[in-house]
């Protein structure tokens, strides 16, 4: 679909650029105490140019801590720190099954963050 749209004259814009401009993200982040972003599966590919890394970079520019709340975290702590993410939490650990009730997955995630993260 994307190629067809380009052939018809559409322009290509990065997801980060679109999100940053649409939500005045740099200004919003600069006025925040904490940035929370998310991704379904946070792995090495995510850290290579998806919106989550761009959000973390903007947070770094404003000296604001950035947390990632995800379905699953595969990336290591060093990779996350290099990307500007000070903490990453997943609804499930590698090899675990997602609870049948998606709401409970979020409850578990919130409990994990509240018990372990501090600035």
C-alpha span between 48 and 40 (Å, rounded) = 15
66 lies in some domain: yes
Q: What is the DSSP letter of 117?
A: -
Q: What is the DSSP letter of 50?
A: S
10 lies in some domain: no
2 lies in some domain: no
Res 111 pLDDT > 80: yes
Instruction: Tell me the CATH number at 23.
Output: 3.40.50
Q: For position 23, what pLDDT does the model report?
A: 92
Mean pLDDT, residues 62-86? 94
3 lies in some domain: no
108 lies in some domain: yes
Q: Are 66 and 85 in contact (CB under 8 A)?
A: yes
Residues in CB range of 69: below 8 A, 6 or more apart: 36, 37, 38, 88, 89, 109, 113
Q: Is 45 helix (H, G, I), strand (E, B) or coil?
A: coil
72 lies in some domain: yes
1 lies in some domain: no
Q: What's the number of domains the chain is made of?
A: 1
Can you give the residue range of the structural domain that contains 27? 15-116
pTM recorded for the entire structure: 0.82
Q: For position 11, what pLDDT does the model report?
A: 87
Q: For position 102, what pLDDT does the model report?
A: 83
Q: How confident is the model at residue 100 (pLDDT cuts 50, 70, 90)?
A: confident
Q: How confident is the model at residue 105 (pLDDT cuts 50, 70, 90)?
A: confident
6 lies in some domain: no
Q: For position 13, what pLDDT does the model report?
A: 83
């Amino acid at each position: 679909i994307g190629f067809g749209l380009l052939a018809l004259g559409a322009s290509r814009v990065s997801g980060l650029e679109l999100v940053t401009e649409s939500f005045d993200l740099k200004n919003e982040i600069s006025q925040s105490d904490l940035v929370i972003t998310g991704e379904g599966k946070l792995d090495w590919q995510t850290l290579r140019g998806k919106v989550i890394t761009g959000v973390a970079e903007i947070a770094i520019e404003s000296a604001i801590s950035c947390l990632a709340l995800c379905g699953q975290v595969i990336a290591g702590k060093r990779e996350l720190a290099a990307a500007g993410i000070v903490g990453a939490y997943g609804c499930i650990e590698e090899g675990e099954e997602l609870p049948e009730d998606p709401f409970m997955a979020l409850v578990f995630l919130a409990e994990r963050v509240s018990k372990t993260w501090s600035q």
